[in-house]
Amino acid sequence: SSLLLMSGVVVAVGLCRRLARRRLRSRPHLFAFLVEMFSTFQVCACTNELSLLSNVEPKPHTALTLTYGFTVLHGLTLAGSACNPCATLQPVAGGGTSLRMGGLKIAAQFVAAVLARVFMHFIWSLEMAEPHLGALSQGCSSPMQTTEVQAFCIELLFSVVFQLAVLRAESVNPKYRVHLIALLITMLVYAGGNLTGAIFNPALAFSLHADCFYDKFLSYSLVYWIAPSLGKLLTLYVF
């Protein structure tokens, strides 16, 4: 049921992106906003569902396999979309995208994060699948299983590693690049998922753990918003 749900989200987002591409080419700002929103919605909704499958046996093989598979799927179906505020900073800093367009895309990503969370909570309330039972009663299921300083350093390091890999992989054939990036993300999730969740995406972190941001805003904003953004800036400086 979970796989069918995530596949349905991917199909629906694909149709919405195609419709926007056909109808809104003459309105570039609205087109960019909607395409980025649809794409980020897909990533956030699928990852919300995947988070419920982390305890499916055999652990952690099932969760890591699904992480790899859906990361490849996102890479193949969401070409041209950043789905990550940190990634949006790169063309803005490089002058390839205006500050207005960059801000518009980041706004779209956070709107999508909220919509994905609301949508998935509605789906979970229907309790159509076993993993959905009791999913809404978890509240702040904190992914931070270490000190704030260590969590900050981990998310910062993972962001730097990921963003450097993305920049270095730009010269690789696209059909191989998505697999390389998916493999790297899976390795990072395996290495730090039990400590911080290995998210390094501010919009995705908010979609997954909004309750934790409400309860401990300063700690979670430092670890899941400031650390990845700082990692991106360090990456641009080093690269």
The dihedral through the CA atoms of 133, 208, 153, 39 has a sign that is: positive
Nearest CA among 37, 5, 7 for reference residue 20:
37
Question: How many angstroms separate the CA atoms of 38 and 10, rounded?
Answer: 10
pLDDT in tens, 152-179: 999 999 999 999 998 888 888 888 999 9
| Range(s) of the domain holding residue 132 | 2-238
Question: How many angstroms separate the CA atoms of 205 and 198, rounded?
Answer: 9
List the chain residues with pLDDT less than 70.
138-139
pTM of the model: 0.94
User: Structural domain tally of the chain?
Assistant: 1
pLDDT in tens, 51-84: 888 877 888 889 999 999 999 999 999 998 999 9
Nearest CA among 95, 204, 109, 97 for reference residue 158:
204
93: domain CATH number is 1.20.1080.10
